[in-house]
Amino acid sequence: MSGTALSLDSVRRIYGAGRPDEVRALDGVSLEVPAGEFVSVEGPSGCGKTTLLNLVGLLDVPTSGAVRWGATDVGAWSEGQRTRGRLAGVGFIFQRFYLLPTLTALENVGLPLKARRVPGPARRTRAQELLEEVGLGARASAFPHELSGGEEQRVAIARALANEPPVLLADEPTGELDSASTDRILQLLEEVHERHGSTVLLVTHNPRVAARARRHLVLRDGKVISDRTDP
């Protein structure tokens, strides 16, 4: 892979613009993320990390400035275009796993494929392959309440990979895990990044987690105050 996967150009996201209590979640952020890069975004709660992910993941639109996938200004897309773009172009991994409790691990992983109307047999085959990849092939028939927190997050990672998205967005993916599970999930994300060549943005408030990425962004008060890449 080559070129720029994601970029922001003087992006502002203001909630309640013009009101006394307006919130400048992002305030003039510009950055480029080359395709295939693994980037951590670190900062305290309320600094704009999740807003940044929501914008590049098409869950929100900027108040001003441009959000681009490659050369395309996705901030100008309609809601329908954003929905289709999310399904095809982005895999989301959240702090809370958001697995459907009435579905098995296999069925949860297959949900993005079902949304794209992939036939049942092909969907089940792909979901099983992904569970094998994250080390849970033998747990395909388990329901979420039968899994540990670390296992649930591995199912969520498999689900995020279902449509082979070029971009993975991970929002505090280890925030509800113990230290041992955190290490396993971070190692898995690194392996997924290497194996699939995915562009990964990992949001965290934990410096130890952020250090696992080669490039580190630090946000404060909606601005990028540090952007460094390890040698």
Q: What are the pLDDT digits (tens) for 17-41?
A: 878 888 999 999 999 999 999 999 9
Closest CA to 116 of 88, 92, 93, 89: 88
pLDDT at 1: 43
- Give tens-digit pLDDT for 172-212: 988 888 888 889 899 999 998 998 899 999 999 888 899 98
pLDDT at 158: 95
Cα–Cα distance between 162 and 159 in angstroms, integer? 5
Complete DSSP assignment for the chain: --SEEEEEEEEEEEETTTSTT-EEEEEEEEEEEETT-EEEEE--TTSSHHHHHHHHTTSS--SEEEEEETTEEGGG--HHHHHHHHHHHEEEEESS----TTS-HHHHHHHHHHHTT--HHHHHHHHHHHHHHTT-GGGTT--GGGS-HHHHHHHHHHHHTTT--SEEEEESTTTTS-HHHHHHHHHHHHHHHHHH--EEEEEES-HHHHTTSSEEEEEETTEEEEEEE--
Is residue 152 within 8 Å of residue 103, measured between CB atoms?
A: no
- Give tens-digit pLDDT for 83-128: 999 988 999 998 888 999 999 999 999 999 998 899 999 999 999 9
Superfamily of domain 4-229: P-loop containing nucleotide triphosphate hydrolases (3.40.50.300)
Amino acid identity of residue 146, one-letter, is E
